[in-house]
């Protein structure tokens, strides 16, 4: 039996800088495919504007948001946009590691009745660093069924951080890579202060094998280029 598979890999950090703007409240929503949407938010670092991507999935049983806006300003606009665009509520939020551009919105989501999830490991790091904590903790890789969709969380090892997980949609062959998976055109690996550079490529390889992710990944990731930090 021959199957033709297209894998869509979502790169979270696009290293596009624009200069001289204050844009912490900007929110951009881009359809990915079908019920999958990317939301992009921004943060100013001095005069550099840096972007971070999250994703949401519209299901029959509500919307699942993966990660959160980087700054607090787009929290409500994201929920409002989803409501207006899809007439659905956000029901689940999953943060893929403890950093600010992934977990900032957890408290906000909880207050809005959203079920929030991180791994146990992410929670331990969040406690250490005074980061927002999710209501539900995943002790191992977890399969979610939400409406007509199924997806799983997967921890393949250390990379960008020691707690980075990915989300795999096996039916759709979509990998939400978190910061573990960097863009092909990324000039470097971004923030590597907490990274495990040695393990990173192994983690990518292991994830690819375990999840049976076809093609792409290994050759597309510029793991070898490590910036001096």
Q: Which of residues 10-49 bind Zn ion (CB under 5 A)?
A: none
Q: Which of residues 152-181 bind Zn ion (CB under 5 A)?
A: 179
User: Among residues 99 and 173, whose Cβ is nearest to Zn ion?
Assistant: 99
In the block, tokens 């787009």 appear at 74
By CB under 5 A, name the one of 43, 99, 133, 182 that touches Zn ion. Answer: 99
User: Among residues 166 and 179, whose Cβ is nearest to Zn ion?
Assistant: 179
- Residue span binding Zn ion (CB under 5 A) among the ranges 94-102, 169-177, 204-212, 216-224: 94-102
- Residue span binding Zn ion (CB under 5 A) among the ranges 47-55, 65-73, 92-100, 119-127: 92-100
- Residue span binding Zn ion (CB under 5 A) among the ranges 48-56, 91-99, 148-156, 204-212: 91-99
Q: Shortest gap between Cβ of 99 and Zn ion (angstroms)? A: 3
Under the rule (CB under 5 A), what is the footprint of Zn ion? 99, 179
């Amino acid at each position: 039996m021959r199957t033709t598979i297209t894998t869509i890999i979502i790169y979270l950090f696009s290293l596009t800088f624009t200069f001289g703007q204050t844009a912490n409240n900007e929110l951009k929503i881009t359809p990915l495919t079908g019920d999958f949407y990317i939301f992009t938010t921004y943060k100013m670092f001095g005069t550099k504007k840096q972007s971070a991507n999250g994703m949401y999935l519209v299901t029959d049983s509500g919307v699942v948001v993966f990660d959160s806006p980087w700054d607090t300003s787009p929290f409500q606009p994201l929920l409002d946009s989803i409501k207006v665009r899809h007439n659905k509520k956000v029901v689940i939020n999953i943060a893929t590691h403890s950093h600010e551009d992934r977990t900032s919105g957890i408290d906000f989501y909880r207050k809005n009745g959203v079920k929030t999830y991180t791994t146990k490991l992410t929670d331990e790091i969040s406690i250490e660093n005074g980061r927002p904590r999710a209501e539900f903790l995943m002790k191992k890789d977890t399969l979610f069924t939400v409406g007509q969709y199924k997806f799983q969380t997967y921890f393949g090892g250390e990379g960008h951080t020691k707690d980075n997980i990915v989300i795999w949609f096996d039916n759709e062959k979509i990998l939400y890579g978190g910061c573990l998976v960097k863009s092909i055109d990324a000039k470097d690996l971004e923030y590597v202060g907490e990274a495990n550079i040695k393990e990173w490529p192994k983690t990518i390889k292991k994830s690819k094998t375990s999840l049976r992710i076809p093609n792409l990944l290994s050759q597309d990731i510029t793991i070898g280029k490590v910036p001096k930090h």
